[in-house]
Every structure is written in structure tokens, then in C-alpha cells.
Amino acid sequence: MMKLGHIQSTLASSNLDNLMNQIKLFNSKNSEINVSLVGTLATKYGDEAVAMALAAAQKSAPSKSIADQFRELRNE
């Protein structure tokens, strides 16, 4: 079951920056294990829901720089 609405809310949340920072901190302390934002979101929401939400977010991004960030996430 896809939870597309939930993933879209997550991508728009200011808590996304907090999650990204926690992942960076984790990766800096654990060189043998590399965690990604997309992988973390896919674990919770599923690959298809994350891919669709990132594509939608990229298309509706308010600026080119934000669209580029979503494009980079899709390529992770």
C-alpha cells in the first residue's frame, strides 16, 4: 500500500533537514555503514512511493535549486 500523501508531507517538512543532519552525523561516526536519506525514506514508505513523491516534488519545486536538490535525491 502506497502512502504517497505521507511521503509528500515528509518531503515538505522542516524536519527533513533534521533527518538529513542525523544521517550525516551517523555516517561520519560509522564509516563501515553508509545510510542514505532515500534509503531511510524507502524503508518507511516503500521505493515506489518515494520515487513518485520525489518526481512530483521536483516538478513542483518553487525554484531551480530546490528542484536540483530533489533531482540529486532521485539519483542517490
Query: Could you tell me the residue ranges of all domains in the chain?
Result: 4-74
Q: pLDDT value at position 14?
A: 78
Q: Which three cell numbers stand for residue 38?
A: 532515500
- Residue 50 has φ and ψ, to the nearest 5°, of -65, -45
pLDDT in tens, 4-24: 568 888 888 778 888 889 999
Q: pLDDT value at position 5?
A: 63
Q: Which three cell numbers stand for residue 17?
A: 533537514
Residue with cell 502512502: 3
Spell out, as residue ranges, where the chain has pLDDT lower than 50.
Answer: 1-2
DSSP secondary structure letters along 11-52: HHSTHHHHHHHHHHHHHHH-TT----HHHHHHHHH-HHHHHH
